[in-house]
């Protein structure tokens, strides 16, 4: 699951990022309005953490753009104590929740998970594709009740395919979904190939009713057998 933090205060931004990484989220950050808009125009997110006061523009304008684009990303406003009007306007513009600064990281993590849970399948975070059942809460996968053993990157890839069934996804998009802003830390796109290869083998061995198909010249897609 992919999170975007839009926050101009460096220490707070990094603290939130570190906390969400511990929760196994893929996390990207934006420090100003223009960086935020570039991220939003290029990628989809499960949840956006949005500061209202930003260099170069307003978080409310970010919300207006999300509304104009008819995006479904969940939005949690991070607001100062004295910004009640901004909170109200933000909620009217489509934000899902707000959290007043300062806040405890445990509450922030709980709010993020709650918003994602609400967004996905009316509160049930589980994702079913064929005879696969994926549980994002504890990052486990079952094939007809039997646990499928996956490493972290294999799980992240499978989850990304599962929430995009039938969609052809190229290697760059896969790398961005798994590494986020740290895509440059991946050894190469060949690493994606090896992870996909291992995942395909494990799905076949477990008798999963889905497979990862290579689409020559484009990427891969998850299909049911």
Instruction: Give 47-101 pLDDT, tens digit per residue.
Output: 999 998 899 999 999 999 998 888 888 999 998 766 677 778 888 888 988 888 8
User: pTM of the full predicted structure?
Assistant: 0.65
- Contact by Cβ (8 Å): 141, 150: yes
**Close Cβ partners of 158 (under 8 Å, ≥ 6 residues apart):** 132, 134, 141, 150, 199
In percent, the amount of the chain with pLDDT more than 90 equals: 42
Q: Are 97 and 175 in contact (CB under 8 A)?
A: no
Categorize the per-residue pLDDT at 182 as very low, low, confident or very high, splitting at 50, 70 and 90.
low
Task: Tell me how far apart the alpha carbons of residues 95 and 60 are, in angstroms, rounded to a whole number.
Answer: 9
pLDDT over 90 (residue 4): yes
Strand partners, 127: 134
Q: Mean pLDDT score of the chain, rounded to an integer?
A: 86
| C-beta of residue 85 within 8 angstroms of C-beta of residue 67 | no
Record the tokens describing residue 18, joined without a space: 């570190």
Q: Does residue 121 or residue 33 have the better pLDDT?
A: 33
Instruction: Say if residues 8 and 55 touch (Cβ distance below 8 Å).
Output: yes
Q: How far is the CA of 140 from the CAs of 17, 66, 149, 168, 212, in angstroms? A: 23, 32, 8, 24, 19
Q: What is the pLDDT of residues 16-26, one digit of tens each?
A: 999 999 888 98
The CA distances from residue 13 to 9, 19, 35, 79, 132, in Å, are: 6, 10, 14, 14, 36
Domains, the chain, ordered by start: 2-122 (3.40.50.2300), 151-224 (1.10.10.10)
CA angle 35, 39, 45 (to 5 degrees): 140
Cα 209 to Cα 179: distance, rounded to the nearest angstrom: 27
Task: Give the confidence band of 171 by pLDDT, cuts at 50, 70, 90.
Answer: confident
Q: List, in order, residues 6 or more apart from 116 with CB less than 8 Å away.
A: 1, 46, 47, 74, 125, 136
User: CA angle, 165 as apex, 47 and 179 as ends, to 5°?
Assistant: 45
Has residue 186 got a pLDDT over 60? no
């Amino acid at each position: 699951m992919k999170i975007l933090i839009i926050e101009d205060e460096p220490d707070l931004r990094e603290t939130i990022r570190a906390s969400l990484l511990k929760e196994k989220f893929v996390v990207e950050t934006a420090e100003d309005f223009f960086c935020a808009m570039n991220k939003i125009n290029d990628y989809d997110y499960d949840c956006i953490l949005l500061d209202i006061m930003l260099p170069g523009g307003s978080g409310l304008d970010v919300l207006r753009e999300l509304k104009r684009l008819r995006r479904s990303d969940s939005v949690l406003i991070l607001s100062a104590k004295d910004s009640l009007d901004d909170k109200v306007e933000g909620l009217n513009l489509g934000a899902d929740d707000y959290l007043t600064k300062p806040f405890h990281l445990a509450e922030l993590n709980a709010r993020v998970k709650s918003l994602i849970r609400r967004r996905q399948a009316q509160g049930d975070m589980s994702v079913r594709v064929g005879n696969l059942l994926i549980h994002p809460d504890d990052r486990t996968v079952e094939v007809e009740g039997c646990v499928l053993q996956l490493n972290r990157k294999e799980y992240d890839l499978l989850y990304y395919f599962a929430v995009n069934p039938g969609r052809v996804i190229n290697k760059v998009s896969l790398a961005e979904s798994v590494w986020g802003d740290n895509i440059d830390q991946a050894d190469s796109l060949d690493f994606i190939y090896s992870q996909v290869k291992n995942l395909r083998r494990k799905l076949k061995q477990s008798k999963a009713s889905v497979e990862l198909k290579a689409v020559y010249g484009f990427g891969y897609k998850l299909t049911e057998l």
